[in-house]
Structure 1
Amino acid sequence: MVNIPLLNRDSAWVRSWIEQKASQPHMQKRLVLVVVSVALLLDNMLYMVIVPIIPKYLRDIHAYEVEYVGYHNETRRLANGSIVVKMIGGQIDYLDEEIELGWLFASKALLQIFVNPFSGFIIDRIGYELPIIIGLIVMFSSTAIFALGRSYGVLFFARSLQGFGSAFADTSGLAMIADRFTEESERSAALGIALAFISFGSLVAPPFGSVLYSLAGKSVPFLILSLVCLVDAFMVFWVIQPKARAPTARNPETGERLQGTPMWRLFMDPFIAVCSGALVMANISLSFLEPTITTSVKICIHRLANAGSLRWMAEAMPGTPDWQVGMIWFPPFFHHVLGVYITVRLLRRFPQQSWLFAAIGLAMEGFSCLAIPFVQSVGALVIPLSTICFGMALIDTSLLPLLGNLVDTRHVSVYGSVYAIADISYSLAYAFGPIIAGGVVNTMGFLALNIIICLLNVGYTPLLGMLRKAYSYQQIEGGTQIGAGGATQQQAVLLKNGGEPERPPPPSKLSAVTQPAH
């Protein structure tokens, strides 16, 4: 046995002490939150880190066909009678660059959409720990391939493989938080912390990738992230110990495994459907605006004659330096973290008003998008973008805990499928948003795009009023198992009543009169 310096203890004692501490319930919750937050941080860093790296790298490796446009030839006759033809002006046009970049960026979300139904089904059957290990190992592999890839095809494969890993890591991570943190206030705070790590990953990834790419090349940032993925997977395997845990939730009285509600049935739950639609709408604004503002502004500064949002930025903000183009998304992420913190505090005080906070956030997003085409400077542009991110924080932090509560009260407390639905909602917005936004901008202009976003967000807001009744149901607990399906007696009553639990009757006047005073 190896003696550990400073501690003056052998390695076996240190290992047993760590396992003893890690097995305590309150420590298990903290470890789960740390592991899941790191996994979500890594996933969003991997999603955003390629933005400043890959466009330039693909040009450097000559991944596109090129042609020179906008030039003219000048002919000069030298004194000895020779004729010299000189090309004046012009620039390199990378053919189909936007299309190939768009497919590369969207491939992760597209594959994630198709894998999520299967990942949710698997998570409901085998538990949360093994799927998150699988997801992290796949993310490690995809990131390592990205670091070593030298062609567009290899990078496309690695990006798609990341979507496969994210479908397992993200879904099982959120479901694990909902499973460990059973109290509503606890669950809201834990999911809020996880959302803050998502924001931080999106915030720190572009400068992280840009600086390391310029100093050490393409491979270094991806190799660092792949190593952290491997360490996080090792933490799950060693500290949380998936083998020592029950594979899925079990009935407390009989010990039989609870069967999770199928995803298609969850989709038919009107409350879950409204939440899922709200998550899609919440991410429409950023998924539409990111490719038409950030990327387009940079092109606009160098090419002053483009259409749609490109022309809008060139005319509204002439002379914008390059460094400000990437900085327009820097302050909004801090407002997202602030929104998460405020929403968690509000939910502790008003736990049944999550629908109202989500509605306010969605309306804020819509009206902020409507204001974007009328700003005249980068500094002013930060204000509506910050409001959009603040509104997104209100929606996500309100609805993600509500999804867990809906499963507890209306279905079976197995969370894989319901958080797979949430992941599908995010992926839908980011898979098809850039494609739709580009078509709208090219045909109708940037102002029309923002009007459409505003109408969609504000128009969806009244539907969130349906969620007022979501807290009218009592939580489904224990009960006696009947049959092989694992349904409890209370759940059998639910099936008799059309799948919805009976609402508690209002207190009668007599009971109110006879209630003893405190």
Structure 2
Amino acid sequence: MDGEAAPGLAKSAAVKLSEMGERTKQLGTAMRDPHRQRRIILVIVCVALLLDNMLYMVIVPIIPDYLAELESEQSERVRAGKHPNASANSTSQDQSMKDNLDVQIGVLFASKAILQLMVNPLSGTFIDRVGYDIPLLIGLSVMFVSTCIFAFGENYATLFAARSLQGLGSAFADTSGIAMIADKYTEESERSTALGIALAFISFGSLVAPPFGGVLYEFAGKRVPFIVLACICLADGFLLLTVIRPFSNRTRENMPVGTPIYKLMIDPYIAVVAGALTVCNIPLAFLEPTIANWMESTMHSSQWEMGLTWLPAFFPHVLGVYITVKLAAKNPNLQWFYGALGMVIIGASSCMVPACKTFGQLIAPLCGICFGIALVDTALLPTLAFLVDVRHVSVYGSVYALADISYSVAYAMGPIVAGQIVHSLGFVQLNLGMGLVNVLYAPSLLLLRKVCQMKPSHSERDNLLEEAPQGLYDTIQMEERRAKKKGYSNSLHSHHSLSFNQIDSM
């Protein structure tokens, strides 16, 4: 019987292997479908952005308490080795250590944005040269290493190195991820929707990370939150390797050469957008390190209230993204207005913060700030890609590196400058100043009202879609049409440059 059953089992195993091979082949074919592939790419990028912002904010409830414990242990050891009469100076020593701890926390929080600010000009150029997939993989790899160091680091120097390393990873992952979305989604409405989804993941990561980290830190210890994030990062990297295959033998010769970042910085339209992205994020960047102390001193808030301060703001942020995407689809020529309106809302909400007396009252202006930021980001990030399309070369690494620089300027200053402003001028003056800056900057977005006049007609758009591939990946995959595309793109670029000169002369 065993001899007769063996051939049947072998045949059954062969059938199953054949079926598995067929399913794998079908999956590979599905992966090569452009529409399905770009959806998977959107998922990969969104997870990367989620991880980066969760790692950025998850340390908020963990690191201050952890460093305080380390400082307390060191203080106890110092006191144990001193003469008993030295205890009279313990109060002044405790105050000195507290001030030193505040400085250490501020520098630690800012180090990520500072390094990101320094690396972004280089990462943008690198992305323009090699494409978007390899830099995204580099960014995820660095973020994975950074997260592991956070999990097992047990002194300030190690945590500082991990935080700075995260800035290096973010400079590659964030910039290449957003640029990849802009490259794969070429239609303006689809691009706005895809970037809006990415912004929603950024918001979710930033706002859910503090309670996520605080709960796990309280019940499972310091390592667990970072180990969870490291595992998700590893899974996202494997998905990237499986779907996009960044090291496959695709020809990267004769790729379009992107416009250098220094030329993008002096483009008046792009400069206005970059300035708006910096200014609109200043209230969030400056309030995050200062609002907890203000709540404790003025409202006598509990730890859970301070920990959940920003969580309700996630919902108006997503609502702002949704509304802006819908409005942009109907009236794409009013993107500048949506951004300006968002800055006015941010300014008014920022001025309302110091007037709040309870936690419930504080929720409203914080929601207003995040709602306004959603309007500005969702309106202006697609505008950057469109400005590159009609004013420069359609390669997006440098322009989104410039956007990342804009964010990093705000978040590099926040943990260091905000505390000094509160100490010297007061919390009320800080908020009034941030609100005034946003309201005064909003009219500068009027310059962008001419952007809609640079748009090609529907016939030009159809011809462009038919005659030339859109985006860097399609350029690589359709090499035989490269010469034709290059000639058409040059003529189209000349046409838009002419149109722009005519607009300026009006």
Pairwise TM-score range, normalised by the shorter structure: 0.7 to 0.9
Aligned-CA RMSD value = 3.1
Which residue does 2:213 correspond to in 1? 209
Change (3 A) 1:234 1:295: farther
Which residue does 1:128 correspond to in 2? 132
**Which SS does the other structure have where 1:62 is aligned?**
helix
Change (3 A) 1:64 1:115: farther
Which residue does 1:76 correspond to in 2? none
Change (3 A) 1:86 1:491: closer
Cα deviation, residue 321, structure 1: 2.5
Richer in strand (by share): 1
Change (3 A) 1:13 1:216: farther
Cα deviation, residue 401, structure 1: 0.5
Q: Does 1:24 align with 2:22?
A: no
Cα deviation, residue 409, structure 1: 0.7
**Which SS does the other structure have where 1:291 is aligned?**
coil
Q: Does 1:349 align with 2:330?
A: yes
Query: Normalising by the residue count of structure 1, what TM-score does the alignment of the two structures yield?
Result: 0.82
Which residue does 1:510 correspond to in 2? none
Q: Which amino acid aligns with 1:123?
A: I
After superposition, the C-alpha distances for 1:92-124 in whole angstroms (9 at most, x for unaligned) are 543401100001111100000011111100110
Change (3 A) 1:56 1:480: closer
5+ long unaligned stretches in structure 1: 68-84, 251-255, 301-312, 507-518
**Which SS does the other structure have where 1:116 is aligned?**
helix
Which residue does 1:137 correspond to in 2? 141
Query: Do the aligned partners of 1:63 and 1:151 also contact (CA within 8 Å) in 2?
Result: no
Change (3 A) 1:62 1:348: same
In the alignment, which of 261, 273, 279 is matched to residue 277 of structure 2? 279
Which residue does 1:437 correspond to in 2? 418
After superposition, the C-alpha distances for 1:177-203 in whole angstroms (9 at most, x for unaligned) are 000000000000000000001111112
Cα deviation, residue 486, structure 1: 12
Q: Does 1:171 align with 2:210?
A: no
Which residue does 2:309 correspond to in 1? 328
Q: Does 1:13 align with 2:44?
A: no
Instruction: Report 1 or 2 for greater relative contact order, CA contacts < 8 Å, sequence distance ≥ 6.
Output: 2
Which residue does 1:488 correspond to in 2? 490
Residues in 1 aligned to 2:302 and 2:93: alpha-carbon distance in whole angstroms: 20
Query: Do the aligned partners of 2:107 and 2:416 also contact (CA within 8 Å) in 1?
Result: no
Residues in 1 aligned to 2:33 and 2:256: alpha-carbon distance in whole angstroms: 24
Change (3 A) 1:474 1:90: closer
Which residue does 1:388 correspond to in 2? 369
Cα deviation, residue 434, structure 1: 2.7
Change (3 A) 1:63 1:195: farther
More divergent stretch after superposition (329-338 vs 388-397): 329-338
Aligned residues: 461
Change (3 A) 1:415 1:105: same
Q: Which amino acid aligns with 1:465?
A: L
Which residue does 1:293 correspond to in 2? 291
**Which SS does the other structure have where 1:182 is aligned?**
coil
Q: Does 1:53 align with 2:62?
A: yes
Cα deviation, residue 247, structure 1: 6.4
Query: Do the aligned partners of 1:473 and 1:502 also contact (CA within 8 Å) in 2?
Result: no
Residues in 2 aligned to 1:64 and 1:182: alpha-carbon distance in whole angstroms: 56
Q: Does 1:42 align with 2:51?
A: yes
Residues in 1 aligned to 2:452 and 2:363: alpha-carbon distance in whole angstroms: 37
Query: Do the aligned partners of 1:481 and 1:487 also contact (CA within 8 Å) in 2?
Result: no
Which residue does 1:259 correspond to in 2? 257
Alignment of 1:364-379 (within 5 A): 364-379=345-360
Query: Do the aligned partners of 1:472 and 1:504 also contact (CA within 8 Å) in 2?
Result: no
Which residue does 1:464 correspond to in 2? 445
Query: Do the aligned partners of 2:107 and 2:415 also contact (CA within 8 Å) in 1?
Result: no
Cα deviation, residue 328, structure 1: 2.2
Change (3 A) 1:88 1:177: closer
More divergent stretch after superposition (202-211 vs 176-185): 202-211
Q: Which amino acid aligns with 1:375?
A: C
Residues in 1 aligned to 2:90 and 2:391: alpha-carbon distance in whole angstroms: 71
After superposition, the C-alpha distances for 1:24-80 in whole angstroms (9 at most, x for unaligned) are 01101111110010000000000011111111111223378649xxxxxxxxxxxxx
Which residue does 2:122 correspond to in 1? 118
Residues in 1 aligned to 2:335 and 2:195: alpha-carbon distance in whole angstroms: 14
Which residue does 1:242 correspond to in 2? 246
More divergent stretch after superposition (428-437 vs 157-166): 428-437
Residues in 1 aligned to 2:429 and 2:251: alpha-carbon distance in whole angstroms: 50
Which residue does 1:511 correspond to in 2? none
Residues in 2 aligned to 1:355 and 1:245: alpha-carbon distance in whole angstroms: 42
Richer in helix (by share): 2
Query: Do the aligned partners of 1:260 and 1:415 also contact (CA within 8 Å) in 2?
Result: yes
Which residue does 2:434 correspond to in 1? 453
Query: Do the aligned partners of 2:211 and 2:307 also contact (CA within 8 Å) in 1?
Result: no
Which residue does 2:198 correspond to in 1? 194
Cα deviation, residue 244, structure 1: 4.9
After superposition, the C-alpha distances for 1:247-292 in whole angstroms (9 at most, x for unaligned) are 66x9xxxxx4211000000111111000000000110011111112
Q: Which amino acid aligns with 2:212?
A: F
After superposition, the C-alpha distances for 1:375-428 in whole angstroms (9 at most, x for unaligned) are 221111111111010000000000001101101111110000000001111111
Query: Do the aligned partners of 1:110 and 1:427 also contact (CA within 8 Å) in 2?
Result: yes
In the alignment, which of 217, 230, 236 is matched to residue 234 of structure 2? 230
Query: Do the aligned partners of 1:127 and 1:246 also contact (CA within 8 Å) in 2?
Result: no
Which residue does 1:308 correspond to in 2? none
Change (3 A) 1:241 1:379: same
**Which SS does the other structure have where 2:289 is aligned?**
helix
Alignment of 1:81-100 (within 5 A): 92-93=94-95, 94-95=97-98, 96-100=100-104
Cα deviation, residue 13, structure 1: 3.4
After superposition, the C-alpha distances for 1:137-169 in whole angstroms (9 at most, x for unaligned) are 010011011111111101100110000000000
Q: Which amino acid aligns with 1:59?
A: A
Query: Do the aligned partners of 2:385 and 2:396 also contact (CA within 8 Å) in 1?
Result: yes
Change (3 A) 1:453 1:147: same
More divergent stretch after superposition (415-424 vs 328-337): 328-337
Query: Normalising by the residue count of structure 2, what TM-score does the alignment of the two structures yield?
Result: 0.84
5+ long unaligned stretches in structure 2: 1-9, 77-86, 469-480
Change (3 A) 1:468 1:220: same
Change (3 A) 1:24 1:245: farther
Query: Do the aligned partners of 1:494 and 1:500 also contact (CA within 8 Å) in 2?
Result: yes
Query: Do the aligned partners of 1:124 and 1:415 also contact (CA within 8 Å) in 2?
Result: yes
Residues in 1 aligned to 2:420 and 2:90: alpha-carbon distance in whole angstroms: 34
